[in-house]
Chains A and B, each alone.
Chain A
């Protein structure tokens, strides 16, 4: 046996799931796809006393797009979003292709990945870039948490231990906006050493009307490149300005040293990837995201 012993319940209603979490006083964990939780159990980095398996709860498997918002329920596997994206969104298709490998994406949920809050993971940065929200249900009812209020530290969100994340909502890029995505990793499907995702919109041939940039693998949480956004919005996106924006955003990061890369290396790569993703987003402006 790899994992330490735990109790297991598989409630069929959200209220029962919330009740089970609340009753365990912070020592319970939600099990959906399990692709982040089960490795942590196997390594005994997590030792919950209770697993609350939400896979039998009805109504959590919706994938809906309406008026520019994509809502994804807690039981939607990454693979299903990938298949949706194949015909609907090149941005989501490109991001999903980099999330682990097909056998992981067949089980792993979008919501689980977003709230697991690995700072080197792609989807949390995409949520930040697209100013998404997480919908959570707890003993005091439902609330929504904006992406920029969600991530506090590695693997740590502002969700309560007695809350179940029931959905995420992504604000899809407006028509005519362009996108860019790039990451550096040791192998395809690994967590990124550093990555960036950008969305740009501009008035026809004119100034940038909206710029969004987010980094992953460049700090303890996914990071918005606010400095770059400020430099770009309202200005002509000249190559010089894109480079200036990318360097400013990277300078504001405080990445960590680890066995894979130094902080200085990560900051340099972040600046390069920011420039590339902004340039790619600019090139795609007008052709749809």
Chain B
């Protein structure tokens, strides 16, 4: 039996009927057609589906859509300003922090929250955060550099 939920995604309110077993990831992709949130393992290991729930990163495959009722979600589609890229996206581009790009949306969402909490992280802290995200292309070095560059850019923008 489906239930009606109402939630805010990237600043926009939505009301939809969902089956309880629908994950938030599937709801975002299939019901709202926000396919920037990627699904990899679908059981919480790979981190590709990470989104922000009330500004905190969560795995959207490990949450039921019904649990997002009356909550605020931010996906990768809600990160960039109207024109251009978010400084984190900019840094991934500049530093070659992605190859196939499948894991990238999840990493960017985690990085948004991570850099808000730790504006000046050490490479070790960045690596610890990245342990929750599988990337099978890059070998991670350029991702670490991208997040360091993003941190610098965000700190500069803050001044």
Interface residues of A (CB under 8 A from B): 1-8, 10, 31, 34-35, 38-39, 41-43, 51, 53, 55, 79, 97, 100-104, 106-107, 187-189
Contact = CB atoms under 8 A, between A and B. Distances in A.
A107 B58 contact: yes
B64 A38 contact: yes
B62 A35 contact: yes
Say whether chain B's binding surface is mostly helix, strand, loop, or mixed: mixed
Interface string B27-64: 00000000000000011100100100100111101111
Contact of B63 (A4, A34, A97, A101): A34
Contacts of B47: 101, 103
Given A38-B44, A187-B131, 18 more contacts: A1-B21, A6-B20, A38-B64, A39-B44, A41-B21, A42-B43, A42-B61, A51-B20, A101-B132, A102-B129, A103-B59, A104-B62, A106-B56, A106-B58, A107-B59, A107-B62, A188-B127, A189-B131
B14 interface: no
Given A1-B21, A39-B43, A51-B20, A104 B131 contact: no
A38 B45 CA distance: 12
Contacts, number: 92
Given A4-B21, A8-B20, A43-B43, A103 B3 contact: no
B20 A103 contact: no
A41 B20 CA distance: 12
Interface of B: 1, 3, 19-23, 26, 42-44, 47, 50, 53, 56-59, 61-64, 66-67, 110, 113-114, 127-129, 131-132
A2 B56 contact: no
Chain B CB within 10 Å, residue with most, of A39, A41, A43, A187 = A39
Given A2-B23, A7-B20, A188-B128, A104 B43 contact: no
B110 A103 contact: yes
A38 B131 contact: no
10 contacts: A2-B26, A7-B1, A8-B66, A31-B64, A39-B44, A51-B20, A79-B56, A104-B44, A104-B132, A189-B128
